[in-house]
Amino acid sequence: MTPSAALAPAERALGLIGPDLTEKSLRLHLEGLSGIDAVGLEERAAALGTRSIKTTSKAWALDTIIRLVDLTTLEGADTDGKVRSLVAKAMNPDASDPTVPRVAAVCVYGDMVPTAVDALGSAHGDPDEGNISVAAVATAFPSGRASLAVKTLDTAEAVAAGADEIDMVIDRGAFLSGNYGLVFDQIVAVKEACRREDGSYAHLKVILETGELNTYDNVRRASWLAILAGGDFIKTSTGKVSPAATLPVTLLMLEVVRDWHRLTGERIGVKPAGGIRTSKDAIKYLVTVAETVGEEWLQPHLFRFGASSLLNDVLLQRQKLTTGRYSGPDYVTID
């Protein structure tokens, strides 16, 4: 792509950068973003992680975490049965306690979407109304190494099968070699593939795979790029690369989202995924969200945890709070 080549006309980018939206103008914008003070960012994240959350606040935090979880199974060995049991757990996380809220969504591979939709039945819908969404990973997850035609077909199939949310991966190779325009155009194309027959769009979560982006500056650029191209959510990781979600990276992405909100009044979601296994860790994320973008972000349309083993730990903590005794892994499901 030549530097002067025009990019796909994404509404947000046109609004921010202007009508002459080209590879060059996008690059100038992204590389003009101020650098990150890495030490300051990590210290800020560490400081936010030291809050002690107890009793009623902890009970509220645990229920909020459950409501924000994208319960995930992304294994090569996934079967229909496994997805059905995942859905059963999403609808009723703790069989011994019906007061436990439902999770926000189940996250599966694209070919498992019909199974998940079928298993959810009437519970399939908007998490704001107490229902559960179906999220599908698409675009040659987790590597993203496929042609654009394959990626958009992958996405369109999942949407047609009933996916409410699409988790796409960006082409990290293209991003790291400075080919921002290619990444931008692909996100715009995938966003278009999220369009349903009735003209509405499936929510698009853009996975930056921060563990492969190497620097905080790159994470900030990728976040801006994903938002400008039309992402509804920016998501840290696939969960297949280490390090996955970390608190400093999530804080940084939340800051970008905060800046975008100040600039345009528009709210973008953030989803840390991978590596969040304990309630204690998850509560640190809640604190970070509340302190960075505000408590209004603590709702399923604006913040999610991508997790599988986190839910069990939260349930154990919840049982401890309700019974006053420590619980054990025999009292939650084996995933």
Partner 1 sequence: MVGRLAVPKTYKLYIGGKFPRSESGRTYEVLSKKGAFLANAALASRKDARDAVVAARAAFGGWSSATAYNRGQVLYRIAELLEGRRDQFVDELVSAEGLSRTAAVKQVDTAIDAWVWYAGWADKYVQVAGNGNAVSGPYFNLSTPEPTGVVAIVAPQSGGSLLGLVSVVAPAIVSGNTVVVVAQQSAPLSAISLSEVLATSDVPGGVVNILTGSPAEIAPWLAGHADVNALDLAGAGDLGWVDMQITAADTLKRVIAPEVGAPAPSLHRIVALTETKTVWHTKSLI
Among 330, 333, 334, 335, binds partner 1 (CB under 8 A): 330
Q: What is the DSSP letter of 299?
A: S
Q: Does 262 bind partner 1 (CB under 8 A)?
A: no
Q: Report the distance separating Cα 322 and Cα 57, nearest Å.
A: 14
Question: Using CB under 8 A, which of the segments 61-69, 135-143, 218-226, 323-331 binds partner 1?
Answer: 323-331
Q: Does 201 bind partner 1 (CB under 8 A)?
A: no
Question: Using CB under 8 A, which of the segments 120-128, 163-171, 289-297, 325-333 binds partner 1?
Answer: 325-333
Q: Report the distance separating Cα 235 and Cα 245, nearest Å.
A: 9
The number of residues making up the chain comes to 335
What is the residue whose two structure tokens read 């400093």?
248
DSSP 51-106: ----HHHHHHHHHHHHHTEEEE---TT--HHHHHHHHHHHHSS-TT-TTSPPPSEE
Closer residue to partner 1 (CB): 51 or 195: 51
Q: Active-site residue 271, yes or no?
A: yes
Instruction: Answer whether 226's CB lies under 8 Å from 44's CB.
Output: no
Report how many residues bind partner 1 under the rule CB under 8 A: 9
Q: Active-site residue 235, yes or no?
A: yes
Among 329, 333, 334, 335, binds partner 1 (CB under 8 A): 329
Among 39, 328, 334, 335, binds partner 1 (CB under 8 A): 328
Closer residue to partner 1 (CB): 198 or 330: 330
Instruction: Answer whether 308's CB lies under 8 Å from 60's CB.
Output: no
Closest CA to 223 of 191, 251, 189: 251
Closest CA to 162 of 87, 102, 244: 87
Catalytic residue selected from 154, 167, 171, 185: 167
Q: How far is the CB of 319 from partner 1 (least distance, A)?
A: 8
**Binding-site ranges for partner 1 (CB under 8 A):** 319, 324-331
Q: Annotated active-site positions, please?
A: 167, 235, 271
